[in-house]
Amino acid sequence: MRFLFIVQGEGRGHLTQALSLADMLRRHGHEVVEVLVGKSHGREVPPFFRTKIKAPVRAYEAPSLIYKKDRKRLDKLRTAFYNGNPRKLRQYGQSIEMIHRRIKKQQPDVVVNFYEMLPALAQLRFRTDIPFVNIAHQYLLRHPDYRHGTGDAQSLLILRLHTLLTGIGATKLLALSFYPMKSCARERIVVVPPLLRREVLDLQPIEGDYILGYMLNQGFENEVRRWHDAHPDVRLHFFWDKRDAPTELRVDDTLTLHRIDDEQFLHYMAGCRGYITTAGFESVCEALYLNKPVMLIPAHLEQEINAADASSIPGAATTGDSFDLSRLLDFMQTPRTFDHDTFRRWLLSAEETFVRELTSVVDRE
């Protein structure tokens, strides 16, 4: 079967999910014919993704999240004004047309949408008969048994609306989850394990002498540096996606900032003592698979829900509102109660589950 991927380019998680799924499908004789990536304001498609996806990649202009001046928290008003201005709306209209043209040209058997809104609007406008299957952790918000869809009412309304819009025209919604749940036919939801790549599954974790961090937003740099100045004896390796930063910025003997590089990130993940991050779903799953203590610092409601979900698993993670690594060190000193074997079994069932769910949407008669 022929698959076309459409991937949200914000952060690292959706991109690595696409890499994982592409490899799974190829191992079962299927083909990824093209990948479209929604490129938001201030982001670029990372070189590691273009290299590893092993399919033609095209980027298009997609709606962006705009952060406050401290570059930590989401600015809802500026996000609305930025994406709602006429020039941007024209660009998004052109993106919708481009998505439709690529689908029409490639004629895939299935389109896989990794939580992008514009492909759903393209489906609404042009009404192709090709089945769409959507993949995201956020679809759990539509599951009647999901307990963590709470928070600021306005932000939650926006998040639920965005999740609803991305699902327009979808044949099936594959909701990535830290743990098994029943499917919900009424909402077209099938609950599935996280998508981790073979490179992650093959890692042999060790306990090194450093803390690993990932900050999606550059504004957290000052918090990290302040904590480091007060605790210079603790070795830190942090990854970020600052475009004009060097590949490796060695601040001093115990603090190094790395531009996001997938292989390097996984290398440091395997050997870290603990992991602190802005609560993106995918890297949390990687850390838990490797049985690393995790601390989550959510920057917006979506990440707050991820953090509440992960920290609800006994012994898996702790949360905070700043990069105060002392809390992570305290958490690392508590007895480890996380049921790693159960989580690992759930995660290793992913390949069989995804191949079954994606191939079953096509009528083969």
pLDDT tens digits, 196-209: 989 999 999 999 99
CA-atom Rg of the chain in angstroms: 20
pLDDT tens-place values along the chain, 365 residues long? 999 999 988 767 899 999 999 999 999 999 999 999 998 766 678 888 999 999 999 999 888 776 676 555 667 777 777 667 888 889 889 999 999 999 999 999 999 999 999 999 999 999 889 999 999 999 999 999 998 877 778 778 888 888 999 999 999 999 999 999 999 999 999 999 999 989 999 999 999 999 999 986 667 888 999 999 999 999 999 998 777 788 899 999 999 999 988 889 999 999 999 999 987 888 899 999 999 999 999 888 888 899 999 999 999 999 998 999 999 999 999 999 999 999 999 999 999 999 999 999 986 53
The amino acid at residue 211 is I
Residue 317: strand pairing partners: 294
C-alpha 363/C-alpha 10 separation (Å) is 33
Determine the pLDDT at residue 300: 80
Helices and strands (DSSP H and E) totals, the chain: 14, 14
Sign of CA dihedral 43, 158, 114, 340: positive
Determine the pLDDT at residue 88: 82
> Which residues neighbour 66 within 8 Å (Cβ) at sequence distance 6 or greater?
41, 74, 75, 78, 79, 82
Q: Locate tokens 């991937």: which residue?
A: 7
Considering the chain, tell me which residue range(s) the CATH 3.40.50.2000 domain(s) occupy. 2-193+349-359, 199-346
C-alpha 113/C-alpha 320 separation (Å) is 31
Q: Is the pTM of this model over 0.75?
A: yes
Domain spanning 199-346, CATH architecture: 3-Layer(aba) Sandwich (3.40)
Superfamily holding 2-193+349-359: Glycogen Phosphorylase B; (3.40.50.2000)
